[in-house]
Every structure is written in structure tokens, then in C-alpha cells.
Amino acid sequence: MLLDSGLGGLTVLAEVRKVLPNAPVIYVADYAALPYGEKTERQIEARVPTLLGRLVERYRPRLVTIACNTASTIALSTVREALDLPIVGTVPAIKPAAALTKTGSIGLLGTAATIRQAYVDNLEAEFAAGKRLIRHAAPALVQAAEAKLRGQPVDPAVFAEAAEGLRSQPGGQDIDTVVLACTHFPLVEDELRAAFGQPVQFVHGAQGIARRVEHLTRGQSFLRTLPEFAVFTGDLYDLSALSPALKVYGIDHVDRF
Ligand code: DGL
């Protein structure tokens, strides 16, 4: 089972499919609580473990992946304490970014909630000591990614603002590597690349998460029955606009939870 606040976790699902093509996956979008990134720590701590507890009881997955940086950096340890099954989290990809940067200037785009987490401070101290990590909250990119998946137009100013939010900070002109610390953002990576102007490489954790899921389920047998379903909380009012994008990921129908 994969959980995100919306469809950002599809970027993780795509990588999981590559390494575990036969594994049945239930994708959960917690639309009733989107956006997680504008919520308080208390709200996320209250919401995510409780929702996952109910989902696990209902669907009995053998593993849960929190395909969301915001929920992982705030609630991963609480979820692990509450649930008796393997939980894979999403960690902002600061370690690989620090290994890749040539200039020593790394940008980090995430939600407002993610970029203020001690979890990120700790990753910075552990893996990016001696580098400059420049953070910027870009909540509008979440909406942009959701709109793109629905085939709706997005104002390019949204991407320009995100790029400028990093570049305008001290050291920002030297950024050569950008951590996409929200699972929605790889969905708009092309638009972000165009907005940056200067050549930058984008890094995110989806492949690493997929490798971790594969490792934790190694030796287990799977039977995937197609097509698969997703689970959405909240209203399903614009499902028809989302159906083509969901089909690309092998999801044919959606259950309301
Ligand atoms: N996709 C989520 C993340 O990785 C955040 C989106 C939201 O704000 O709900 O942080």
C-alpha cells in the first residue's frame, strides 16, 4: 500500500512497478486532507497514523509506503510505533544531492511543513555539512501537479516563482542540484527545468524507495490481478478528469474510503 495526500505518490508507484511488476499495489490518495503541507505538525500526527491504521485493518497490506515527504518527516516514527508491519518512508534526497553537487550549493523545494522539519535539519547536518542547502516552500507546485494530471492548464509563473524562490537567496545563483522534496514535484520536473534557466539536476527519492520496498519483500511471492484500484478519501467529484492519468499507472477504478 502506498499513501500520499493526492497523486504525488504516483511518482513512487511508477518506480515500484519497475522493480516489482507482479506486486499488487493499493494506491491511497488522502484528498480529504490535501494539502498536507499547509497543515500543522499536530494535524499530520493526528491524521496519518489513524488513517493508516484504518486502511491497514480494511485492506491488510503486507507493507506500507508513505509516499509523501510531509507525512514522513513528521509522522514516520509514530506510524511505525502504531502499526505492526514494515513501513517505508520518504526521505528528502539530501544525501544523493550532496554527493552530486559540484558547486556545493543545493536547492531544496518542498512543502512549507517539510522544509521546517528537524528531520531535514538532521539530514543536512549529517550529509550536507560544508555545503549550502537552500530551502524554499513551493506549495503551489502541489496544485500545479494535480492540475497537470487532470489535463488542466497551469500558469508558468508558478514554476518561475519556485525557481526564483531558490535563486534569489544567498548562494542561489550557484545552485546546480535541486532536491524535489515533495512527491508531487517530479510530475512537473520538465516545467521546473525550463523555469530554472541555469542547468540544474533534480534529485528525488522514488527509486531509492522502490529499492527499499523490493528489499523488504524479497523472496515473497505476488499475484497481481489486473486492473487495480486506488482508494481516495473525500469527494470523488472530478474523477473523470483524473481517469486517463490513473490508467497510465494501471489503476482502473477508485474506491471511496
Ligand atoms: N506529496 C506530498 C509530499 O511529498 C505533499 C503534498 C501536500 O502538501 O499535500 O510532501
The residue to mutate among 36, 91, 109, having the most atoms of ligand 1 within 8 angstroms of its beta carbon, is 36
Q: Which residues of 78-101 are buried (b: 16+ CB within 10 A; e: fewer)?
A: bbbeebeeebbbbbbbbbbbbeeb
Does residue 92 have an active-site annotation? no
Q: Is the pLDDT of residue 227 over 80?
A: no
pLDDT tens column, 103-121: 999 999 999 999 999 999 9
Cα(51)–Cα(30) distance, integer angstroms: 9
pLDDT interval class at 235 (50, 70, 90): confident
* Residue 199 alpha carbon to ligand 1 centre in Å: 25
Fold of 94-204: Rossmann fold (3.40.50)
Could you confirm whether 182 is annotated as catalytic? yes
Average pLDDT, the chain: 96
pLDDT at 182 over 80: yes
The answer to whether 60 and 89 have CB atoms below 8 angstroms apart is no
SS3 105: strand
Residue range 125-167, pLDDT digits in tens: 999 999 999 999 999 999 999 999 999 999 999 999 999 999 9
Sheet harboring 177-181: ordered strands across? 132-137, 105-110, 177-181, 201-203
Of the candidates 59, 70, 64, the one whose C-alpha atom is nearest the C-alpha of residue 33 is: 70
The CATH number of the structural domain formed by 2-90+207-256 is 3.40.50.1860
Give the model confidence (pLDDT) of 28-39 as tens digits. Answer: 999 999 999 999
For residue 176, the CA-to-ligand 1 centroid distance in Å is 24
Per-residue pLDDT, averaged over 71-81, amounts to 98
Closest atom of ligand 1 to CA, residue 114? 10
Overall average pLDDT of the 38-54 stretch: 98
Sign of the torsion angle spanned by Cα atoms 101, 105, 109, 114: positive
Span 4-16, mean pLDDT? Answer: 97
Which atom, in ligand 1's list, is nearest to the CA of 183?
4
Residues of the chain with CATH 3.40.50.1860: 2-90+207-256, 94-204
Q: Is the shortest distance between the CB of 69 and ligand 1 below 6 Å?
A: yes
**Segment 215-242 mean pLDDT:** 91
